[in-house]
Amino acid sequence: MERNYALIDLHLHLDGSLSLNSVKKLAEIQSIAIPKDDEALKDMLQVSEGCRDLNEYLEKFEFPCSLMQTALGICTAVQNLEAELAAQGLLYAEIRFAPQLHTLKGMTQGEVVAAAVSGMGQSALRSNLILCCMRGKDNHEANLETMHVAKEFLGKGVGGVDLAGAEALFPTENFKELFDLAKGWNIPYTIHAGEAAGPESVYKALEFGTKRIGHGIRSLEDEVLVKRLTEEGITLELCPTSNLNTSIFSSYEEYPLRKLMEAGVKVTINTDNMTVSNTTVAAELQHMMEAVQLTEEEMHQLAENAASAAFAEEETKCWLKEEIEKRFA
C-alpha cells in the first residue's frame, strides 16, 4: 500500500492464521512431527490458488488446531501471531478461537483461555480475544462453558463472544440461550451469519440483539434487511478473499463492498484466516482499493467503522480514533 493506512482486523481466526514460522516453532517446542518440506507444510495450512470449494477451505483447520492442545502451544501461538500483526503495522486486532476445540489433551476451557491471555501483550499490538461458541449437534454444554469462561475473563484479555461453524446446517435460532446469557452478563457479541446461509440467518442474529455480524455479505439479497442494517447501525465484518475462496463471489470486482457502502451500511475489511487465505488486512484493503476504486475518504471511513465497532475499552477506542486521524491528516 502506498501509505501507512490505519490497519485494524476485527475478524481473525487464530487457527486459520498460524504462519509457517509459527507452525515450525510450535512443532519444535512440543516435539510434534511435521513435514520438513515448506511446500508440503504450506499445503496443509493454505488453500490452493484456485480454491473454489468450502470443503477444501475447512480441511485446513484440523492440523493447526492439533498444534494448540497444550498451554505452551496456545500461549506461543497467540504471542507469535500478535508479533506478526504488529510487524505488519496493525494498530488493533481481535483474535477469535473456540476454546472447546483445544481441550483434546485435558485442558479445561478456562485453562485454554488463560494460556491464550498469557500470550498477549508482548508486542506493540493492542488486542482482545473473541471466544467462539460452535454450531453443532451435541456441544450445548461446551458452548455454555465457553460463555461462563468469557464472563470470567471479560475485560482481562477477552473482549466478547461469537457463534461460528456451519450456519447452513445448524441455524442461528438454535442458539438463543447463549445470547440471552451474553446480554444478561453484558458480554459484547458478534455472530457469523449471511455467509453460507442467506439473509434469514442475519435476521435471526439481529433478533438476538447483535450489533456486529461476521461476514453478513449475503444481506444484499434482501433490500429490507439492508435498510435495517443501515438504520440500526449494524457493523458487518467483511472478509473478501475468504468469500472468494468459498465461492460466494468469483472476483474482487464482483465483491459488493461499494453497494453496501453506498447503502449506508457500516462495513469493515478483515482477513478471516490469514494463512488459509494467504492474505493480510493490508492486502485485503489493497484488493478493494483496486477493484472498486476506494477514495481516501472511504478508506478513512472503513478505519473509523472498525474503531467504533471494536470490542475494546473506551481508552483503546479513543486511542485508535486519534491514530486514525493522524494517518489521514
Residue 1: inside a domain, yes or no?
A: no
For residue 248, pLDDT over 50 is answered with: yes
Residue 329 to residue 326: CA distance in whole angstroms? 5
Buried-state track 221-251, b at ≥16 Cβ within 10 A, e below 16: ebeebbebbeeeebbbbbbbbbbbbbebeee
| Whether the predicted pLDDT of 321 surpasses 60 | yes
Which structural domain range is residue 197 located in? 7-327
Is residue 2, in this structure, part of any structural domain at all?
no
Domain membership of residue 119 (yes or no) is yes
Place of cell 453484558: 186
| Region 113-125 average pLDDT | 97
- The structure's pTM equals 0.96
Q: How many domains does the chain have?
A: 1
Contact yes or no for 11/272 (Cβ under 8 A): yes
Termini Cα distance of the chain: 17
Does residue 84 have an active-site annotation? Answer: no
The pLDDT score that the predictor gives to residue 1 is 45
Q: Is residue 282 part of a domain?
A: yes
Q: Determine the Cα–Cα distance for residues 204 and 188; give it in Å rounded to an integer.
A: 17
Looking at residue 48, its pLDDT comes to 82
Residue-wise pLDDT for 49-95, tens only, equals 777 666 678 889 999 999 999 999 999 999 999 999 999 999 999 99
Q: What is the spatial distance between Cα 268 and Cα 288, in angstroms, rounded to a whole number?
A: 11
Task: Sort residue 247 into left (φ over 0), alpha (ψ -120 to 50) or beta.
Answer: left
Per-residue model confidence as pLDDT tens digits over 138-152: 999 999 999 999 999
Residue 66 lies in a domain: yes
Half-sphere exposure of 68 (CA within 13 A, CB side): 33
Whether residue 180 is contained in a domain is answered as: yes
The one catalytic residue among 195, 237, 284, 304: 195
- Residue 163's domain is classified under what CATH number? 3.20.20.140
Q: Does pLDDT of 168 surpass 80?
A: no
Alpha-carbon dihedral angle through residues 246, 25, 90, 209, given to the nearest 10 degrees: 50
